[in-house]
Amino acid sequence: METLIKDFRYGVKSLLKQPGFTAVGVLSIALGIGVNTTLFSFINAALFRPLPFPDSHRLVRLWDGHSSSYPDYAAYRDESKVFSGLAAYAQRPLNLTVNGESVRIYGEIRSPNPGNSPRR
């Protein structure tokens, strides 16, 4: 136990002799903890928490790796005996014009069936 106390005192003395090295070490640890906490918060919110509406465990996402057409969506919707409802969406680049100035934005095109949408 004495050796441990001596080693601890020696370490503290060494750090006090070199305050620049100590500051860089403390800042590195603080930055690492901050980045890890931020990443954990985002990942926890996006992947592990349930979605904020009733029966969120019943949601299923289907895709075929490419854009599906409206006839594909209509066939899934009309012929499916498994799903209680279907909604389709597609993300597209759009041009937004305000006061004659155009800006490129990304938006979402969605099927018009609000009766099957999740409620908050």
Tens place of pLDDT for every residue, the chain, 120 residues? 899 999 999 989 988 999 899 999 999 999 999 999 999 999 998 888 877 777 777 777 777 677 778 888 888 888 888 887 888 888 889 999 999 999 999 998 888 765 555 554
pTM: 0.45
**Are 62 and 76 spatial neighbours (Cβ–Cβ below 8 Å)?**
yes
64 and 82 part of one domain = yes
82 and 43 part of one domain = no
Domain that includes residue 15, residue range: 2-48
Residues 6+ apart with CB under 8 A from 103: 95, 96, 97
39 and 60 part of one domain = no
75 and 36 part of one domain = no
64 and 22 part of one domain = no
42 and 67 part of one domain = no
